Chains A and B, each alone.
Chain A
Amino acid sequence: MPYLLLQIVGLPLVAAVVTGFTRNVRKSHLPGWITITTLVYTTLLLGFAGIRVCGGEVLLEQYFIGPEVSLNLLADGLSLPMALIINLICLALAVYSLHYVEHRIELIYGQCSPRVYNLYFRRFFLLYLFFPTGFMGVAFATNLLSVYFFMELLTIIPLYFIMAQFGYSDYITRYKVALMCLFWGVAGATFFLIGIIMGYVQIGSFEIAELPRLAGNPMTIWIAIVILLGLATKLAIIPLHVWMPWVHAEHPTCIAGLLAVYANIAVYVAVRILILPLRNDIYPLALPMMTFAMVTMVYGALLTLAQSDIKRFCACSTISQISYSVFGIGIMTAWGVKGGIFYFLSHIIGKALLFSTAGILVYTVETREINKMGGLWSSMPLTAILWFSAALILSALPPTSGFVGKWIIFVGAFKAFHSTPTGLVIVIFAVLSTILTLVYTFLAGIRIFFGPQKPPRPDHPPTDPPLTMSLPLLALVCVALGLGLYPEPILDLLGSVIGFF
Chain B
Amino acid sequence: MTGTIVSLKPLLALGCPLLGTGMIFIYRKQPNVREGCTLAAAALLFAIVISMAPPILAGKVIAFRLITICPGLELGFRVDAFGLLFAITSSFLWILVSLYSIGYMRALQEHAQTRYYCMFALAIFSAVCIAMAENLVTFYVFYEALTLSTYWLVAHHEDEEAFAATRKYLTYLLASGWFLFAAVVLTYALAGTTRFADGGILTTASASRWTLIVLFALFALGSMKAAWMPLHSWLPAAMVAPTPVSSLLHAVAVVKAGVFGFVRIVCHIFGVDLFSELGLGLLLGWMASFTMIVASFMAIGQDNLKRRLAYSTISQLSYILFGVALLSPFGIKGAMIHIPFHAFMKITLFLCAGAIMVITGKKAISQMAGIGRQMPITMAAFTVGAVGMCGAPPVAGFISKWFLCLGSVQSGHLIFLGVILVSSLLDVVYFFPIIKTAFFDAPQEGADRRNGDVLRMETRKPLYLFMIVPLALTALFSIVFCFFPGTFFILDLVEMAVNNLFNP
Q: List residues 172-213 of chain B with CB under 8 A from any CB of chain A.
A: 174-175, 178-179, 181-182, 185-186, 188-190, 207-208, 210-211
Q: List residues 426-443 of chain A with CB under 8 A from any CB of chain B.
A: 428, 431-432, 434-435, 438
A486 to B67, CA, bound (A): 9
Binds A, one of B8-16, B68-76, B488-496: B68-76
A/B interface sample: 19 pairs, CB < 8 A = A397-B144, A403-B73, A404-B69, A407-B185, A410-B185, A411-B72, A411-B185, A411-B189, A412-B189, A414-B188, A418-B190, A418-B211, A419-B208, A424-B211, A424-B214, A428-B218, A431-B181, A431-B182, A432-B182
A200 to B178, CA, bound (A): 46
A432 to B181, CA, bound (A): 9
Instruction: Check if A408 is an interface residue, CB within 8 A of chain B.
Output: yes
- For residue B211, which residues in chain A have a CB less than 8 angstroms away from its CB? 418-419, 424
Instruction: Check if A485 is an interface residue, CB within 8 A of chain B.
Output: yes
Instruction: Check if B141 is an interface residue, CB within 8 A of chain A.
Output: yes
- Residues B185 and A431 in contact, CB atoms below 8 Å apart: yes
Interface size class of B (residues with CB under 8 A): 20 to 34
Instruction: Check if A398 is an interface residue, CB within 8 A of chain B.
Output: yes
Closest to A485 in B: B69
A438 to B147, CA, bound (A): 14
- For residue B174, which residues in chain A have a CB less than 8 angstroms away from its CB? 435, 438
- Residues A398 and B141 in contact, CB atoms below 8 Å apart: yes
Closest to B182 in A: A431
A49 to B186, CA, bound (A): 37
Closest to A430 in B: B182
Instruction: Check if A115 is an interface residue, CB within 8 A of chain B.
Output: no
- Residues A407 and B73 in contact, CB atoms below 8 Å apart: yes
A63 → chain B closest CB, angstroms: 37
- Residues A408 and B181 in contact, CB atoms below 8 Å apart: no
B272 → chain A closest CB, angstroms: 23
A398 to B211, CA, bound (A): 27
Closest to A397 in B: B144
A410 to B144, CA, bound (A): 19
- For residue B218, which residues in chain A have a CB less than 8 angstroms away from its CB? 428
- For residue B175, which residues in chain A have a CB less than 8 angstroms away from its CB? 435
Given contact pairs A434-B178, A435-B178, A491 touches B186 in the complex (Cβ within 8 A): no
- Residues A418 and B185 in contact, CB atoms below 8 Å apart: no
A425 to B448, CA, bound (A): 62
Q: List residues 42-89 of chain B with CB under 8 A from any CB of chain A.
A: 67, 69-70, 72-73
- Residues B190 and A432 in contact, CB atoms below 8 Å apart: no
Which B residues have a C-beta under 8 Å from some C-beta of A?
67, 69-70, 72-73, 141, 144, 174-175, 178-179, 181-182, 185-186, 188-190, 207-208, 210-211, 214, 218
Given contact pairs A407-B72, A487-B69, A428 touches B208 in the complex (Cβ within 8 A): no
- For residue A486, which residues in chain B have a CB less than 8 angstroms away from its CB? 69
Output the residue of A398, A411, A412, A428 with the most chain B CB within 10 A. A411
Closest to A398 in B: B141
- For residue A412, which residues in chain B have a CB less than 8 angstroms away from its CB? 189
- For residue A424, which residues in chain B have a CB less than 8 angstroms away from its CB? 211, 214
- For residue A438, which residues in chain B have a CB less than 8 angstroms away from its CB? 174
Encoded as 1 (CB less than 8 Å from any B CB) or 0, chain A from 392 to 420 comes to 00000110000110011011111100110
A413 to B189, CA, bound (A): 8
A451 to B468, CA, bound (A): 38
- Residues B179 and A432 in contact, CB atoms below 8 Å apart: yes
- For residue A418, which residues in chain B have a CB less than 8 angstroms away from its CB? 186, 189-190, 207, 211
Contacts A435-B178, A484-B69, A485-B69 supplied; 6 other A-B pairs, CB < 8 Å: A410-B185, A411-B189, A428-B218, A431-B182, A432-B182, A435-B174
- For residue A421, which residues in chain B have a CB less than 8 angstroms away from its CB? 210
Output the residue of B70, B73, B175, B179 with the most chain A CB within 10 A. B70
Instruction: Check if A210 is an interface residue, CB within 8 A of chain B.
Output: no
A418 to B144, CA, bound (A): 25
Instruction: Check if A57 is an interface residue, CB within 8 A of chain B.
Output: no
Closest to B207 in A: A418
Instruction: Check if A488 is an interface residue, CB within 8 A of chain B.
Output: yes
- For residue B178, which residues in chain A have a CB less than 8 angstroms away from its CB? 431-432, 434-435
A427 → chain B closest CB, angstroms: 8
Closest 9 CB pairs of A and B: A414-B189, A431-B182, A415-B189, A435-B178, A410-B185, A414-B186, A411-B189, A418-B211, A398-B141
Closest to B190 in A: A418
- Residues A487 and B70 in contact, CB atoms below 8 Å apart: yes
A428 to B179, CA, bound (A): 9
A418 to B188, CA, bound (A): 12
- Residues B207 and A419 in contact, CB atoms below 8 Å apart: yes
Closest to B144 in A: A397
A398 to B210, CA, bound (A): 30
B488 → chain A closest CB, angstroms: 33
Q: Which among A404, A428, A431 is the interface contact of B73 at CB below 8 angstroms?
A: A404
Closest to A408 in B: B70
- For residue A484, which residues in chain B have a CB less than 8 angstroms away from its CB? 69
B316 → chain A closest CB, angstroms: 30
